[in-house]
Structure 1
Amino acid sequence: MDDPILNIEEREAINSGRWFSSLSPSLRHDILRCAYVKRYRDGELIAARGDPPEEWIACAKGAVRVSSTSISGKQITLTYVEPGIWFGDVAIFDGDRRTHDAYAHGDTTILCVAKADFKKILAMHVELYEAMLRLHARRIRQLFGLVEDLNTLPLRARLAKQLVHLVRSYGVPSLSDGREMRISLHLAQEELAQL
């Protein structure tokens, strides 16, 4: 299912991502120059918990479901990575193994940068270190917000916040006047409950 290049929509998703678009043109060029494309069907495993980190990854199309399995065997979805978002860098930085499973949600295209190339780009562009620090700081803020929500909000309020987040990430107008939004990420009720 691999196609060696991104299509126009996939390239636009990568280039317009909030974090990636903030990088200098030369850094974006060097990242894209050594990147390669992988395509997955719905439910296919992209990376497994415990895998060594071989790639830095961006979602270009579809979504990546990042999940974990509890001791009782219950699947817990931590997040859905949307197009334009980069992930997989933590395990490369700390040298440890992958911490969660990553599955394609719907037909999914990812853009990958091999670990060795990622490290070369870091050596060539100090800017990337600063950009990664900003990205990690934003992720830490989000994690603190989630922990606070888990400890202070009732279930209904947490569900409402999750739905608002999904609308921000995957919302498309459902009426011609644009007053109503629908979530384009198709989730079964069970999948929504796992969030």
Structure 2
Amino acid sequence: MVDHVLEVLKSCSLLSGLPEAALREVAPLARVRPFRANEVLYQCGEVQSALSVVGAGNVRIGSTNAEGREIMLTLFEPGAWFGDTVFSPGMPRVFGATAHTDGELVEVPGQDYRALLARYPEAYPRTLDMLSRRLWSAISIIEDNALRDMPGRVGRRLLFLAHMHDPQRGPGPVTFKLTREHIANMMGMTRQGVHGVLKALEQRGLIRFSYGRITVPDPDALKAYLDERAG
């Protein structure tokens, strides 16, 4: 089991600045947490500072509105990390986490992770880079929602998800589990409202739908189209 945990930790970009010796130190302290689809993993507002790495399956990050409806912000696949409060213990989680499919988390206790950084300060440049990228992503979403029209908002969000699912990608398609209903929920739109936007992108060959999954055949082509629209 420790070897399995070690492999999951090695796949996490946030931990890539740590030497393997450091990961071997923390692997026995981590907990493997299996989950089932739609299981609530963390509640919004919960005070809990573990670093969570997706070991298998998908996790959706979101919040709940006043009517009790879940609003999805993004999806995380294996290797992705969440639990930013690990850097600020005692602070409540801003968003909740729910299992999107069956899978598992590897949870590293916050105090153990912070102690590891103290012993291996050479990991800080990579850690700060990952935190800066996470902040940039959040600001980009806010900007898109404020300044772009609906096709631009939807297209940029799909491009963001494609990059999140395959950050080291080479040329070629990116596929992830997402339905039209999920996209409408993510964008705060009705299913009918988002359908026309998605249909236009699909007709241009920029996205494809099949069996609850979406494929972006060429993320660079989607980006070029969106940049051209923005003028």
Identity over aligned residues, as a percent? 26
Larger Rg: 2
- Cα shift at 1:16: 3.2
Determine the structure 1 residue equivalent to 2:134: 139
**Structure (1/2) with the larger helix percentage:** 2
Change (3 A) 1:136 1:182: closer
* TM-score normalised by L of structure 2: 0.68
Determine the structure 2 residue equivalent to 1:127: 122
Contact 2:48 2:89 in 1 (8 A): no
Contact 1:20 1:84 in 2 (8 A): no
- Cα shift at 1:118: 2.2
- Cα shift at 1:132: 2.9
What is the CA RMSD across the aligned residues, in angstroms? 2.6
Distance in 1 of aligned mates of 2:154 and 2:87: 32
Determine the structure 1 residue equivalent to 2:181: 190
Change (3 A) 1:144 1:54: closer
Count residues with an aligned counterpart.
182
Q: Deviations over 1:96-125 (max 9, x none)?
A: 122221111101211011223223223322
**Structure with greater contact order relative to length (CA < 8 Å, sep ≥ 6):** 1
1:115 aligns with 2:107: no
Distance in 1 of aligned mates of 2:128 and 2:90: 17
Change (3 A) 1:17 1:38: same
Determine the structure 1 residue equivalent to 2:195: none
Determine the structure 1 residue equivalent to 2:196: none
Structure 2 residue runs without a partner (length 5+): 187-231
Write the mapping of 1:64-143 to structure 2, written as runs, cut at 5 A. 64-90=59-85, 92-143=87-138
**Structure (1/2) with the larger strand percentage:** 1
* TM-score normalised by L of structure 1: 0.79
1:164 aligns with 2:159: yes
Contact 1:14 1:85 in 2 (8 A): no
